[in-house]
Amino acid sequence: MSVRVTFWLGAPDGVKGHLLAGPLAEFLQFLSDMERKDPRLNIPGLQLLVERVIRLGEAALSVDTTEQAALVDALVEIYYNWFCGGEGIRATLLIPANDSMIGAKAFHDHRQLVDQVFGTKASRYWSYLLDGRGIGRHGVEYPYRPTVDESVRVGFWTADECQDFLTTMLAYSARNQGFFLDPEQWDIEATRQALQKGVQERTGIILIVA
């Protein structure tokens, strides 16, 4: 199956609040069970990190080194792609922001178009979708990198970013009637739909490429 992009309702801050509100004790047991079945998920230090998150909450997700960033990114990838994403055992933890499952290639092909018609900030939001986005850090000192599977990315938009991105899109479409109706740009329309849902629900969007 080709790599696809999907949109899910998150927390107002995107991923972190959604993750912390989830069944982390059950996730810890899942990791213990899966490390024997899928060697990719047997990552040194990961179960200890989950235990710390259960005990300390958000503070345990703070990143100060490249190694810490990789471990947090692995936690997020496995939680959202293996535990509650796709055919995960807790798939009901994710509520779709729309019903699209569009190949990632379409989003890659329109990266330059998004930059041209919506501007630099929108281009950065688009990169969170395609490239993923880490939690527990600020700036670009410890950028997100896939750690379990090179084809998997997890990113997010906060509630405020959803509002900002949607406002930019709608302002452009008001000047260019029919922009979202172009069948060659269905990925952009699907993005608009997801942003609209996030704004309606006053929450962020979780972005999964897998």
SS3 state of residue 6: strand
User: Tens-digit pLDDT profile for the chain (210 aa)?
Assistant: 589 999 999 999 999 999 999 999 999 999 999 888 888 889 999 999 999 999 999 999 999 999 999 999 999 999 999 999 766 779 899 999 999 999 999 999 999 999 999 999 999 999 999 999 999 887 678 999 998 999 999 999 999 999 999 999 999 988 988 888 888 899 999 999 999 999 999 999 999 999
Q: What is the pLDDT of residue 118?
A: 96
Separation between Cα atoms, residue 126 and residue 123, nearest integer Å: 5
SS3 state of residue 209: strand
Separation between Cα atoms, residue 90 and residue 23, nearest integer Å: 9
* Helix count and strand count (H, E) for the chain: 9, 5
Separation between Cα atoms, residue 73 and residue 79, nearest integer Å: 10
Q: What is the pLDDT of residue 87?
A: 63
Q: What is the pLDDT of residue 51?
A: 98
Strands 4-9, 102-103: pairing kind:
antiparallel
Label residue 64 exposed, middle or buried (CB < 10 Å: 0-12, 13-18, 19+). exposed
Query: Whole-model pTM?
Result: 0.94
Q: What is the pLDDT of residue 53?
A: 98
Label residue 138 exposed, middle or buried (CB < 10 Å: 0-12, 13-18, 19+). exposed
Separation between Cα atoms, residue 105 and residue 130, nearest integer Å: 10
Nearest to 200 by CA among 91, 95, 86: 95
